[in-house]
Amino acid sequence: GGAVYVEDEADSTATDCIFDGNTSDLDGGAVYVDDDEGSMMARGCTFNGNTSHRNGGALRNKGDSTLINCTISGNKADQMGGAVRNNVGDTKISHSTITNNTAGNRGGATSSGAYVGIRNCIIIGNTDNSGDGHHNFTGCVDPEGYNLVGDTTGAQCKPWQATDIVNATYSGLHPLGDY
């Protein structure tokens, strides 16, 4: 990870922090959780302008990661998961905003081969350059309700809940900045 690397059975917690402008030549522009026994908890954090030259512009997860009340915006992965790439463990995201992230291949917001649970999140305006239309998601997403979501193409696993607003076309969100 460009800022934090969590290995083996380690547990990491970040509270009210800013991960801004980090770069990883491999995975996890800001954070890389590299073990199925490791974990990362981020609460009240901002992930902005991070770059991974492979997967997970903000976070690459192979363990158990939880993001609560976070803003994930303006991150880039050259391959999969402009914001988050999860392929082994569980990622839970709640009360968070994921917007304006870009993946070179798949999943501008999330790319997953494992569980990604989302609850009470805004996920809109992410892009990928694959040409297959999976702008926000590719792979397994478990919507747990109360989400505002743009394009849902590519989201698999479980159906959207009645409390989710899906395929929204405009949320009024702009890139992070001083306006």
49, 82 Cβ separation under 8 angstroms? no
What is the pTM for the complete model shown?
Answer: 0.94
d(CA 88, CA 115): 8
The CA–CA distances, whole Å, from 48 to 11, 22, 82 equal: 22, 9, 11
pLDDT tens for each residue of 15-40: 999 999 999 999 999 999 998 889 99
| Residue 145: Cβ within 10 Å count | 12
What pLDDT, on a 0 to 100 scale, did the predictor assign at position 171? 61
What pLDDT, on a 0 to 100 scale, did the predictor assign at position 133? 66
What pLDDT, on a 0 to 100 scale, did the predictor assign at position 83? 98
pLDDT tens for each residue of 77-118: 999 999 999 988 899 999 999 999 999 999 999 999 899 999
